[in-house]
Structure 1
Amino acid sequence: MPEQLTDSVASAAPPETPSRQRAALGRHAQRPPGPFRLAGVPILWIWAAFNVFLLLWVAMTAFRNGSEIFTDPFDLPDSLNPGNFTDAWTVGELGSSFLNSLLVVSAASATVIAVSAPAAYVLARSGRRSSGPITMLFIAGMGIPMQAVIIPIFVWMQSISSAMYDTVGWWDDRISLYLIYVASSLPFTVFLLTGFFRTLPTELEEAAALDGCSGFRTFRKVMLPLARPGIATALILVIVSLWNETLLALVLITDTSKYMLPQALLGLYGTMQYTSNWGGLFAGIVIVVLPVLAVYAWLGRRIVEGLTVGAGK
C-alpha cells in the first residue's frame, strides 16, 4: 500500500521543465573560485589599468614640447600643440608611409580572407583523407619563425624582382611585401577558419543540397553568412599583425618613398633624437597606434563572438 501511494504521488508530480533543469544544473555547477582566479582577476585589472594609463600618457605627451616632457613628465600639458603631429606627418614622412601601409595591409588582408575562407571550408567539410594532413601542414606553418626563413625570403624576392625587370621592365618592392604578407598570414587564418567552419551545423548544407544548390553556391549563400563572426575575427587579427610588422618591411623595402609606417617611425626616432623634438616622436606613435585602436573599437566584439561560437557544442 505505501509503495502504491508513492508511485501515485510520483506520477502525479509535474514533470521537471527545462528551465528548472538548467537552474538545477547551474546550482550544481557553481563552485567557489579557486586561488588562481582570485589572484588572476586583480592582476588582469592592474595590467589593463597600466596599459590604459600608458596610452593616455603617450597621447598627452604628443601635445607637449621637449622641455615639458623632461621637467614634468606626468603633468597635463599647458596647451595643446598640434604642431607635433604636423612635424611627424611631414618631417618624418609618415603621410606617405601611412598610405603605403594602408594600401599593402588592406590588399593583403582582403586576399588572405578571400583565399582562406574557401580553403578552410573545403578542409572542414570535404571529409577526404587528405584534409587532415593538409590541415597539419598549415599548423606546422604557424610554428616556423619568420627570423629563420628571412634570408631565403630575401633571395626569393630578389630573384622575382630581377625576373620581372628582365621581362616587364618594372617591379615594385611593395608587391613583394604584399606577397610575403599573404603567404605568412595564410597558415593561421586557414587554421582558425577551419575550426570555425567545423562548428557550423551540417543540416543547412543538406537542405541546400536537396534544393539543388551546388557546393560553391551553398558556401556563398549559406555558410559564408554564418561564418561572418569567424571571418571578422580572422580579419582583425590579420590587420593588427600586418600593421605592426617591421622585420619584413625593413628587409624588403629600401626606398624611403615606399617605407611602411613602422619603418617611418624608426626613421622619425632618429630624426627627433637629434632635434630633441620628443613631442613629435610621441605624435608619430599616436599616428601608428590610432588606426589599430579604431579598427578594434569597430570590430573588437567580433573577436569574442568568433572565438566562442560553438564552444558549447
Structure 2
Amino acid sequence: MNPSTDDLAPAGTGRARAAKRRPAPAKRAIDRLDGLLSGAVKTGLWVWVAMLVVLTVWVVVTSLKTNGEVFTDPFGLPKSPQWRNYRLAWSVSGFGQAAFSSVTVVAASALLTMVIATPAAYVLARVNRRSADRVITYFAIGMGIPAQALVVPFFLMSNDLSTFMTEWVTGWWDDRISLALIYVVLSLPFTVYLLTMYFRSLPTEIEEAAAVDGAGPTRTFVEIMVPLARHGLVTALVLNIVALWNETLFVLIVVGDPQQRTLPAALLELYNTMQYTSNWGGLFAGIVILVMPMILLYLWAGRRIVQAMTQGAIK
C-alpha cells in the first residue's frame, strides 16, 4: 500500500494548510456583523409593514363609525357600520367630481409620459455616443430638482397658457389640461432614466436577429422591444400613477375652480371644513377613497415592479 502525499508531507505543512482554510477572526467577525445587520434590517422592514397594515385596517374601520364612536371607542369595532359616510363623502363633499378629475388627469398624464419617454429611453439606451450618456445625466439631475422650486415658473406658464388659449385660440381653457402638462414635465426625468436602464439590460442579439430578418428600427421597437420590456413599462406606469394620484401642491396652485380639483385637494378641503361639520367618519371615508385604489394597484402590480427593478439593476 503506497503512502499518500499528505502522509509524506511534513507535519508543519498540514497545519499551515489547515490554518489557511480556517477564516481569520476578523473575517468571522465581519460575517457575523453582516448577518446581524441583515437580520435587523429585515426585522425593521417587517415591523414597518405590520404597522402600515394595522394603520390601514384602523382607517377602514374608523370610516364606518359614527362621530361619537370615533372618540369614545377609537380602537373598537363599529356597533353599526355607517356606510352613509361614504355616500356623504362621495356626494356632499364632492368626491365624485374630484375622483373624475383625478382619473382623467392622472390617466392622461401617465399615458402621455409613457408615449414620450419610451422611444426616448430606447434611443438613449442603444446609441453608443458620449452625448447619450450626457443626456441621461441631465435626466438624472432633473430627478433631484425639488417640486417647490418649480412652483412659480409653472404658475406663470399655466396662467400665460390659459390666457393665450382663451383670448387667441379656442375661447376657453380647462386648468386641468395645464395640470396634466405639468405632470408630464415632472414625470419625464424619472421615467426616461428608469426605462433607459431597463432597455440597456435587454440583450441586443434580439434586435440583430430582427434586422437580419428584414425588420426596420421602427418595427423592431414597436413589435419586439416594447412587448419585451412590458415589465419595465408597467413599473414606470404604476409608479407615475401613484405619484401623480397623491400630488396636491400643483393642484392647489394651478386649478382655480374647486369643482375641478382632484381627490387630494378635495380631501384637504374636507379637512378644512371639519371645524364646522365635525364629520369625522366622512373624513376617514374620504381617506379610504383616496388610498384604496393605489393599494389595490400595488397588490396587482407589485411582483412586476420588483421584477422590473431587479432586472434593470443587474445591467
TM-score w.r.t. structure 1 length? 0.88
Match of 1:232 in 2: 234
- Structure 1 residue 215, shift from structure 2 partner: 0.6
Partner of 2:92: 91
Structure 1 292/310 Cα, relative in aligned 2: closer, same or farther at 3 Å? Answer: closer
Per the TM alignment, residue 136 of structure 1 is displaced from its structure 2 partner at its CA by 1.1
The residue type equivalent to 1:115 in the other structure is: I
CA–CA separation in structure 2 for the residues paired with 1:310 and 1:230: 8
> Residue 34 of structure 1 aligns to a residue in which SS?
helix
Q: Secondary structure at the match of 1:139?
A: helix
Q: What's 1:56 paired with?
A: 57
The separation in 2 between residues aligned to 1:143 and 1:275, in whole angstroms, is 41
Q: Distance in 2 between matches of 1:60 and 1:195?
A: 42
Match of 1:72 in 2: 73
- C-alpha distance in 1 between matches for 2:66 and 2:53: 22
Structure 1 stretches of at least 4 aligned residues deviating more than 3 Å after TM superposition: 30-33, 310-313
Alpha-carbon RMSD across the aligned residues, in angstroms, is 1.7
Flag structure 2 segments of 5+ consecutive residues without an equivalent.
5-30
Match of 1:200 in 2: 202
Look up the match of 1:259: 261
Are 2:195 and 1:185 equivalent residues in the alignment? Answer: no
- Please list the CA deviations of residues 168-227 of structure 1 after superposition, one character each: whole Å capped at 9, or x if unmatched: 211110000000000100000000000000000010110111111111111111111110
Say whether the 8 Å CA contact 2:124–2:132 is kept in structure 1.
Answer: yes
Look up the SS of the partner of 1:309 in the other structure. Answer: helix
Moved more, 53-62 or 34-43: 34-43
Q: Report the residue type matching 1:152 in the other structure.
A: P
Task: Report the CA distance shift for 1:310/1:270 in structure 2 as closer, same or farther (over 3 A).
Answer: closer
| Inter-CA distance 312–147: structure 2 relative to 1 (3 Å threshold) | closer
- State the 1:302 CA deviation: 0.8
Matched, 1:216 2:239: no
Q: How far off is 1:100 after superposition?
A: 0.3
Once residues 265 and 143 of structure 2 are traced to their aligned partners in structure 1, the CA distance between those partners, rounded to angstroms, is 25
Three-state SS of the structure 1 residue aligned to 2:256 is coil
Residue identity opposite 1:201 in structure 2: P
AA aligned to 2:250 is L
Structure 1 segment 86-165 matched on structure 2, within 5 A: 86-165=87-166
Greater displacement, 268-277 / 153-162: 268-277
Gaps of 5+ in 1: 4-29
Greater mean deviation of Cα atoms: 140-149 or 178-187: 140-149
Q: Percent identity?
A: 52
* Distance in 2 separating the partners of 1:215 and 1:282: 52
Question: What is the deviation of 1:103?
Answer: 0.3
Partner residue in 2 for 1:16: none
Which amino acid is the alignment partner of residue 267 of structure 2? L
Question: What pairs up with 1:22-37 in 2 under 5 angstroms?
Answer: 34-37=35-38
Q: Could you tell me how far 1:38 is from its partner in structure 2? A: 2.0
Aligned equivalent of 2:25: none
Instruction: Indicate the residue corresponding to 2:22 in structure 1.
Output: none
1:92–1:271 contact (8 Å) kept in structure 2: no
Q: Is the 8 A contact 2:246 2:264 kept in 1?
A: yes
Q: Which residue of 1 aligns with 2:47?
A: 46
Following superposition, the deviation at residue 163 of structure 1 comes to 0.9
2:271 to 226, 250, 269: 269
The aligned counterpart of 2:282 is: 280
Post-superposition offset of 1:2:
9.9
Between the two proteins, the alignment pairs up a number of residues equal to 287
Shift of 1:276: 1.4
Q: Equivalents in 2 of 1:275, 1:97: separation in Å? A: 20
Residues 197 and 312, structure 2, Cα contact 8 Å, conserved in 1:
no
Task: Kindly state the Cα deviation for residue 298 of structure 1 after the two structures are TM-superposed.
Answer: 1.6
Question: Hey, what's the Cα distance between the residues in 1 that align with 2:221 and 2:80?
Answer: 56
In the TM superposition, what whole-angstrom CA distance separates every residue of 1:140-170 from its partner, at most 9, and x where no partner exists? 1111111012101101111111111111211
| Equivalent in 277, 280, 289 of residue 291 of structure 2 | 289
Flag the 1:198–1:67 CA change in 2: closer, same or farther, 3 A: same
